[in-house]
């Protein structure tokens, strides 16, 4: 009986082992089949991209060469926007007083001569009284001077009396003119004062056309001479002050064209022309200020903005690609090239199609002109390298996202 039991146990173990061997073989056959279905069109470890010919046609990717273009050579400089001193003004009062009325708000456009603020000052009454007194007394002085002239003409008067009358006449006339000019400086009408209209308020007018800046006063506050109430800026004559360093000075001349790049407005197209070059270094920077007038300045240009200027200093034969070939990411510029070092055109085992391997190359860019942009690769490229001229943005979006596989 024991022998029969042992024989049946061995037969059971042998069958179980055979079943496990068959199951293991079946499981191992499924893995290679799954690996063969991996799709072309994925990112490699270097940030490149491999696409099939069908994918390239579907997306509309086009390729070309790095061309030689006769582009403008530029000198890159930085600086700030500014306005000439005659296009900026600070509003002050000639005599201290209480601000009774403010007629403008910040950001408002004003015209030259427009009343901005009304200030009350009791001392104005004294000046107007002096003017009226001088005006009244002048009538007697003028009559006496006329009488002495008649006597002198008839040889009936004395020379001393005539001289005294003439001196008084000239002195009183000068006094009236001075008081009248003082009233005009306060913004008070001389003719109204002469007719008896005395006021304690003086208007403060805008000396230039422009836009109101910061208002540092309030209604009822005391305005002091020499302390600005507000400021006005006229941006119609805004220009750029660029710093050009000593090594580039020999290439800079008056009349050269300048293209601007604003720090906070990358799509803004601004151009200008050099109209002045300083003849001394700015502080210890070994840089010279170059003044550039801006053509067609926009309302969004504000004094103090930082700008980068590309000064055109002549034509030069440069390596260039279409503007659409350059993509920007993380403040750097890139192009996609066909990687000839890879086995990039090959037959796929599962479909019999072809694929092309693209590689992302960092470049430095220069001037943009006539739809082309100057580029310099940061690594050596073959002379006949193929560049993606259309569809680079698609490649960038695929290489920056997760790799795609289908099983």
Confidence class for position 263, pLDDT limits 50, 70, 90: low
Full DSSP string of 52-107: EHHHHHHHT-EEEEPEEEEEEEEEEEEEEEE--GGGEEEE--SS-EEEEEE---TT
What angle separates helix 123-153 from helix 159-185, to the nearest 10 degrees?
150
Does the pLDDT of residue 40 top 70, yes or no?
no
Q: What is the overall mean pLDDT for the chain?
A: 80
Which span out of 66-70, 112-116, 153-157 was modeled with the highest average pLDDT?
112-116
Is residue 21 pLDDT above 50, yes or no?
no
Q: What is the pLDDT of residues 318-330, one digit of tens each?
A: 888 998 889 888 7
Q: Is the pLDDT of residue 367 over 70?
A: yes
Q: Give me the domains of the chain, ranges plus CATH numbers.
A: 49-71+318-400 (2.40.420.20), 74-85+234-316 (2.40.30.170), 91-121+200-233 (2.40.50.100), 123-196 (1.10.287)
360 vs 339: CA distance, rounded Å: 9
Can you spell out the DSSP letters for 351-392? T---EEEEEEEEEEEEEEETTEEEEEESS---TT-EEEEE-H
**Least confident interval from 107-121, 155-169, 206-220:** 155-169
User: Encoding tokens for residue 120?
Assistant: 């009350």
86-117 tens-digit pLDDT: 999 999 998 889 999 999 999 999 999 999 99
- Single out the residue of 203, 190, 201, 202 nearest to residue 132, CA to CA: 190
Find, among 290, 351, 341, 367, the residue nearest to 37 by Cα.
351
Mean pLDDT confidence for 189-214: 90
The pLDDT, as a whole number, for residue 23 is 42
Rg (CA), the chain: 43
With 0.75 as the threshold, say if the pTM is over it: no
- The whole-number average pLDDT for the span 172-194 is 89
Other Cβ atoms within 10 Å of 361 Cβ, number:
19
Confidence of residue 44 (pLDDT cuts 50, 70, 90): low
User: Is the pLDDT score of 119 beyond 50?
Assistant: yes
User: What is the side-by-side strand order in the sheet with 210-215?
Assistant: 88-91, 230-233, 210-215, 109-110
| Parallel/antiparallel/unpaired status of strands 115-120 and 201-205 | antiparallel
Number of C-alpha atoms within 13 angstroms, CB side, residue 366?
Answer: 21
Determine the pLDDT at residue 48. 66
């Amino acid at each position: 009986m024991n022998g029969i039991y042992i024989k049946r146990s061995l037969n059971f173990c042998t069958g179980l082992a055979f079943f496990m061997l068959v199951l293991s073989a079946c499981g191992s056959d499924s893995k290679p089949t799954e690996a063969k279905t991996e799709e072309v069109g994925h990112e490699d470890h270097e940030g490149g991209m491999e696409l099939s010919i069908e994918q390239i046609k579907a997306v509309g990717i086009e390729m070309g060469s790095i061309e030689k273009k006769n582009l403008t050579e530029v000198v890159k400089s930085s600086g700030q926007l500014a306005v000439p001193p005659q296009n900026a003004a600070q509003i002050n009062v000639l005599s201290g007083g209480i601000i009774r009325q403010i007629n403008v708000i910040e950001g408002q456009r004003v015209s030259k001569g427009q009343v901005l603020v009304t200030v009350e000052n009791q001392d104005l009454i004294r000046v107007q009284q002096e003017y009226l007194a001088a005006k009244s007394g002048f009538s007697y002085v003028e009559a006496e001077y006329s009488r002495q002239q008649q006597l002198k003409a008839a040889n009936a008067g004395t020379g001393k009396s005539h001289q005294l009358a003439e001196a008084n006449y000239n002195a009183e006339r000068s006094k009236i003119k001075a008081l009248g000019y003082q009233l005009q400086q306060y913004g008070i009408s001389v003719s109204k004062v002469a007719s008896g209209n005395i006021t304690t308020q003086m208007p403060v007018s805008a000396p230039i056309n422009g836009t109101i800046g910061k208002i540092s006063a309030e209604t009822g506050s005391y305005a002091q001479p020499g302390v600005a109430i507000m400021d006005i800026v006229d941006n119609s004559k805004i220009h750029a002050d660029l710093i050009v360093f000593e090594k580039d000075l020999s290439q800079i001349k008056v009349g050269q064209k300048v293209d601007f790049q604003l720090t906070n407005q990358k799509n803004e197209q601004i151009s200008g022309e050099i109209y002045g070059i300083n003849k001394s270094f700015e502080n210890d920077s070994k840089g010279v200020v170059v003044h550039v007038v801006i053509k067609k300045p926009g309302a969004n240009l504000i004094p103090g903005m930082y700008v980068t200027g590309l000064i055109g200093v002549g034509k030069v034969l440069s390596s260039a690609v279409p503007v659409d070939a350059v993509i920007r990411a993380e403040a750097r510029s890139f192009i996609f090239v066909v990687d000839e070092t890879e086995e990039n055109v090959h037959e796929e085992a599962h479909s019999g199609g072809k694929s092309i391997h693209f590689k992302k190359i960092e470049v430095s860019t220069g001037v943009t002109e006539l739809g082309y942009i100057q580029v310099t690769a940061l690594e050596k490229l073959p002379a006949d390298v193929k560049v993606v001229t259309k569809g680079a943005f698609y490649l960038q979006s695929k290489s920056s996202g997760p790799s795609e596989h289908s099983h």
